[in-house]
Structure 1
Amino acid sequence: MPSSIESAESTEATEATESAAKAGHATGPVPWVAMYHSVGDCSDDPYRITVTPERLEKQLGWLRRRGLRGVSVAELLAARSRGEGRRLVGLTFDDGYADFLDHALPVLDRWGCGATLFVLPGRLGGDNAWDPLGPRRPLLTADGIRRAARGGVEIGSHGLTHVDLTKADPQTLRAETADSRARLEELLQAPVDGFCYPYGTVDRRAVDAVRDAGYGYACAIDPGPLNGPHALPRVHIGQNDNAVRLFLKYRLHRLRRRPVEGL
């Protein structure tokens, strides 16, 4: 006998798929992509961007008990392009904090989950200097990023130095998109397909720059009227998100968002 949560999820997914079909989209409901940042000590966390390893463990356990599996955005989109992946959830970690290797990756491995890590090749081994409040958190070095990639994590660009692309001049916009991709591909000796808009802010000009730089997809937070693989919405996940809050976020995301065109 399915639980009330499972029944609600099934009904919601069916309704979203039927609504999408009526609107001319045969791709079903919008993909659910979770947005994380740092995994570690959250006692001094004014931006609420940190979850403890213990909380991440519980959140991934919740996914698995619901019959869901966390994967990289690349894997999620590839499955969607085949008409599959309705039970996959994209897991993303922004900024490339050094704690990812010690605190996030082991938990992901225990639950059989993949993820996408968005890093800043212009700040390798630096810290989150763009945050005026809160503690300085170290970022991954080049070797740390390679270690994450060898661990099966998809590496994407978060720009070069964490600049709001909607306020960038043309030269900066190119550096933050095209140059950051070139640096990462040189570092990894592998293609880099994904981008994540710093601060989640996005406009048509930023989308065009990311697409022109050769990225196959890009993640925002709430892209507003923008739609498509280069303006994917995400849901912030924090330390306070227990099972009830996760279920509500999972369901409301699909009810509030339009199907993503082209998926």
Structure 2
Amino acid sequence: MSLPVDAVTGPVPWVAMYHSVGDCSDDPYRITVTPERLDRQLAWLTGQGLRGVSLAELLAARARGEGRDLAGLTFDDGYADFLTAALPVLRRHGCTATLFVLPGRLGGDNAWDPLGPRRPLLPADGIREAAAEGIEIGSHGLTHLDLTKADDATLKAETAGSRAALADLLGTEVAGFCYPYGTVDRRAVDAVRDAGYAYACAIDPGPLTGPHALPRIHIGQNDTAARLYLKHRLHRLRRRPVAGLR
């Protein structure tokens, strides 16, 4: 997958950021939505004339000058509940998504979160199953480290190393990266680009915004139709067009 990186300038796409789908009764980081809430959120998206797709599909459409009726759906960390709780809802609404996983923590849990319950992560077979269902697999680094604090060797392992590990696991190249914690600086962006990724997702990268630092909108359990409307509207008003995207 390649993206235009010439002088073409266009609006930044609307990309939703999810994590876990399941029980959100103990959720100090607000990373979980219930399947019922996800179902209503995707129904709202469809009602706006939008279809949720993977970042690969969205950016490929944008590169052709199309895709204004598409919205990106991303799920961070690779939780095991993606297969059991999120995927059935995505299927019901005709959506795909990008799942950002941690090849250095296959079958582990969210040990990087000091608070809240331990949530199991997908093993290798689960990641391959998601890919077989049409879900794009991207890297979230090897182990969920803040790349802005990593030394040179660790930064290379978390970017290039994780891409190589996923290529071995999936038998195909990996196009996308997602910065753990959403933290990003020029050094991290350069490392991700040098590792061969076609695009990368952050949260609010400010002046670094571009194909290797795409902003996303956090979506949580409290995001009703009214809140989603505002998040969609404000994104269009706040995000300036950037070079490298049509």
Pick the TM interval, shorter chain.
Answer: over 0.9
* Contact 2:17/2:218, CA 8 A, preserved across alignment: yes
Runs of 4+ in 1 over 2 A off after TM superposition: 25-29
Match of 1:36 in 2: 18
Counterpart amino acid of residue 208 in structure 2: L
* Contact 1:30/1:259, CA 8 A, preserved across alignment: yes
Q: CA deviation at 1:66?
A: 1.0
Instruction: Say if 2:103 is the partner of 1:121.
Output: yes
Instruction: Say if 2:77 is the partner of 1:104.
Output: no
- After superposition, what is the alpha-carbon deviation per residue over 1:98-146, rounded to whole angstroms, capped at 9, x for unaligned? 0000000000001000100000000000000000000000000000000
Match of 1:213 in 2: 195
1:50 paired residue among 14, 25, 32:
32
In the TM superposition, what are the counterparts of 1:1-263 in structure 2 within 5 Å?
27-263=9-245
Counterpart amino acid of residue 230 in structure 2: L
Higher RCO, Cα 8 Å, sep 6+: 2
Where 1:118 maps in the other structure, the secondary structure is strand
- After superposition, what is the alpha-carbon deviation per residue over 1:24-50, rounded to whole angstroms, capped at 9, x for unaligned? x76542200000000000000000000
CA distance in 2, matches of 1:229, 1:166: 18
Where 1:225 maps in the other structure, the secondary structure is helix
Report the CA distance shift for 1:214/1:26 in structure 2 as closer, same or farther (over 3 A).
Answer: closer
Percent sequence identity over aligned pairs? 82
CA distance in 1, matches of 2:88, 2:9: 33
CA distance in 1, matches of 2:129, 2:188: 30
The TM-score with structure 2 as length reference comes to 0.96
CA distance in 2, matches of 1:77, 1:217: 9
CA distance in 2, matches of 1:259, 1:77: 15
- After superposition, what is the alpha-carbon deviation per residue over 1:212-232, rounded to whole angstroms, capped at 9, x for unaligned? 000000000000110210010
Larger Rg: 1
Where 1:30 maps in the other structure, the secondary structure is coil
CA distance in 2, matches of 1:101, 1:75: 20
Match of 1:21 in 2: none
CA distance in 2, matches of 1:144, 1:131: 22
Query: What's the Cα RMSD here?
Result: 0.9
CA distance in 2, matches of 1:257, 1:212: 26
* Contact 1:192/1:215, CA 8 A, preserved across alignment: yes
5+ long unaligned stretches in structure 1:
1-24
Q: How many residues align?
A: 239
CA distance in 2, matches of 1:151, 1:260: 32
